[in-house]
Chain A
Amino acid sequence: MTMIYKESMIWTGISKLGSLKLTPVILALVGIGAAISYRNEGTTTWAMALPLFLVALNILAAVLTNKKFHRNKPLLIFHLALIAVVVLVALGRLTYLRGHVELTEGEEFSSQLAEVEKGPWHWGNLNLVSFANEGFTVQYSSGVKVKKIENSIRWRDEEGKEQQGVIGGLVPLKLHGYKFYPSANKGFAPTFIWRPKKGGSPMLGSVHLPSYPMHEYRQALAWTPPASETNLWIMLQFDEVILDPAQPSLFRAPRNYQLIVRSGEQRWQLKPGESVTLPDGVLEFEGLRNWMGYSMVYDFTLPWILAAAMLAVGSMAAYFWSKFTSRPWDK
């Protein structure tokens, strides 16, 4: 008897949780959560996660206890699909990865991202990703507005075969669930050959100057050669106009340029092929290349979220269609 009473109490509780009268209150909480997220970036997750959890509970309880859902399949499917969307979004937040990487022309991706933001359960295989930046073109409209980005790349596909192609705009490189998008964040990369004084093989490397044209007047950087204790300050100097605001133009390296290198009170002007002797090695300026900044994203839930959302909208439309066609609005 007590057992039956307890079960009845639980069922009543679930019924109350699934009450349609509670739904507008929870939806209002979602709206408030969205407004809080909008105003305070730091609290985004919890301000939205809690009301969305309540939405899922409310729908789940309604599906279990409300007989209307059992009689009406489109309504049932709509609400189940909504729960699926909420669960998948949560799963996506736990497993996603977003990052940024910069690669010089000719450089291969080494699984190291400059900036990373990821969910606690991210289990991706970034170390399997292999591609190289083979150079790019960025077309600008007048007013220095990006019109088109085309980046030639070479990559090893998931079967290990070497591939070549062009990405840019809405076409990313897709590998092992990761998507790489070339961006307007790019610039010049003075490239050096560093010969350490203590011996060993020469090292080829490049320095990424601040993004161009965003930092057009700040093409300088402090840098220390590898395994060296000499702090350098380098600056790219050129007079020509690369991107003319008055007409369409193409991003390119300057034709005439020189590199200013400073170490303490010493100052050098280097042309390609020239070198400077430092206390712990010789630095040879090989020339100027370009670097490209890539945005990278990983979220395996995306196609599933899309499928669940489309199912939700389709079943909602079917529900309203059967409801509205059964009786004219003015009868």
Chain B
Amino acid sequence: MTAGLELQALWAALVLYVLAGSTAIFGVVLRRKPERMVLAFLIIGLVLHTITIGLRWERVGHGPYINMYEMLLSNIWSLILIYSIAYWRLPAIRATAALVMPIIFMLMGWLLMSNPYDGNEPNTYHTIWMFIHIGFAKVFLGTVLVAVGISGIILLRQGRFSGGRFARMPDDKKLDELSFRLMAIGLIFESLMLITGAIWAQDALGRYWNWDPLETWAFLTWIFVAFSLHLRLAYKTTPRTSSYMIIVVFVLAFLTFFGVPFVTPAPHQGIG
């Protein structure tokens, strides 16, 4: 009964996200601004998605962080949540939904193909540090996603497709400043993610850092964020160059979040 309701709520949420993304894309192509409709679809979708996660948590007895299905389920939720806040608070960048939502669609497709088995919560997951660590990680990825949307606009404007479709948005310099600020916020949250992850690893594994694949990829992502911010400050890079760097950061972060679990199942399991 609960599982059936959980699945129905999930499907309804995914359909609403697809509607939000499609409406945003049509809005850009047809030069319309269906912004309130997009925001409504996102918010209702989020409510249903939250119900799905809550029902599953109640049913299986642990949060959505054990297997790939659960990681995708919770990350789509957090990405949509953070993007919705940006969409609501920054009206000038709402056209980015046409670029951001297809990235979410890809994760949604992956989610539907993943095995939704219940999984077992390892012995080492019973700590508040894990939740704090995951929370910071999600804010980091969500912030970078918003920056990727802005970077995509900067890059698209230089191509033929744009045709003035993004002309009403702030100029490249201002968008570049906003994406820089988002990356700075991302750096803070990624730093906090690494620190809290180290505290958890110290308790769970008896060492705060071991250069395992997940730690190494997370560190490389952090270094690249710091590198791109310093490069921008020291060499006054163009908005175009900065945009490419933000996309590289997102790719690195994406591989860390969703690629490394394929390389090794060991991280985050602990010595237990």
Residues in chain A within 8 A of chain B (CB atoms)? 19-21, 23-24, 27-28, 30-31, 34-35, 37-38, 44, 98, 141-143, 145-149, 168-170, 172, 179, 181, 183-184, 295-297, 302, 305-306, 309-310, 312-313, 316-317, 320, 324, 329-330
Q: Which residues of B contact A37 (CB under 8 A)?
A: 211, 216
- What is the CA–CA distance of A30 and B226 in the complex, to the nearest angstrom? 11
- What is the CA–CA distance of A28 and B231 in the complex, to the nearest angstrom? 11
Q: Which residues of A contact B258 (CB under 8 A)?
A: none
Contact call B216/A38, Cβ cutoff below 8 A = yes
Q: A98-B207, A147-B120 are in contact. Are A329 and B271 (CB under 8 A)?
A: no
Contact call A27/B195, Cβ cutoff below 8 A = no
Q: Which residues of A contact B177 (CB under 8 A)?
A: 329-330
Shortest CB–CB separation between residue B215 and chain A, in angstroms?
9
Shortest CB–CB separation between residue A142 and chain B, in angstroms?
8
- What is the CA–CA distance of A181 and B201 in the complex, to the nearest angstrom? 13
Shortest CB–CB separation between residue B17 and chain A, in angstroms?
27
Contact call A181/B271, Cβ cutoff below 8 A = yes
Contact call A31/B272, Cβ cutoff below 8 A = no
Shortest CB–CB separation between residue A103 and chain B, in angstroms?
16
Stretch in contact with the other chain, from B18-26, B97-105, B178-186: B178-186
| Total count of chain B residues near the partner, CB < 8 A | 44
Contact call A146/B123, Cβ cutoff below 8 A = yes
- What is the CA–CA distance of A324 and B181 in the complex, to the nearest angstrom? 8
- B15 interfacial by beta-carbon distance below 8 Å: no
- What is the CA–CA distance of A330 and B171 in the complex, to the nearest angstrom? 9
Contact call A34/B216, Cβ cutoff below 8 A = yes
Of the residues B170, B188, B230, contact of A317 by C-beta under 8 Å: B188
Contact call B227/A320, Cβ cutoff below 8 A = no
- B131 interfacial by beta-carbon distance below 8 Å: no
Of the residues A141, A149, A179, A309, contact of B195 by C-beta under 8 Å: A309
Highest count of chain A CB atoms <10 Å: which of B126, B198, B202: B202
Q: Which residues of A contact B223 (CB under 8 A)?
A: 27, 30-31, 34
- What is the CA–CA distance of A44 and B207 in the complex, to the nearest angstrom? 16
- B233 interfacial by beta-carbon distance below 8 Å: yes
Shortest CB–CB separation between residue B23 and chain A, in angstroms?
25
Contact call B227/A170, Cβ cutoff below 8 A = no
Contact call A302/B188, Cβ cutoff below 8 A = no
16 A-B residue pairs with Cβ-Cβ distance under 8 Å, sorted by A, are A20-B234, A21-B234, A21-B235, A27-B223, A27-B226, A28-B227, A30-B223, A31-B227, A34-B216, A34-B223, A143-B120, A172-B206, A183-B272, A306-B195, A306-B199, A320-B181
Contact call A320/B272, Cβ cutoff below 8 A = no
Q: Which residues of B contact A24 (CB under 8 A)?
A: 227, 230-231, 234-235
The A-contacting residues of B in range 90-124, CB under 8 angstroms, are 92, 120-124
- What is the CA–CA distance of A295 and B224 in the complex, to the nearest angstrom? 34
Of the residues A27, A170, A184, contact of B204 by C-beta under 8 Å: A170
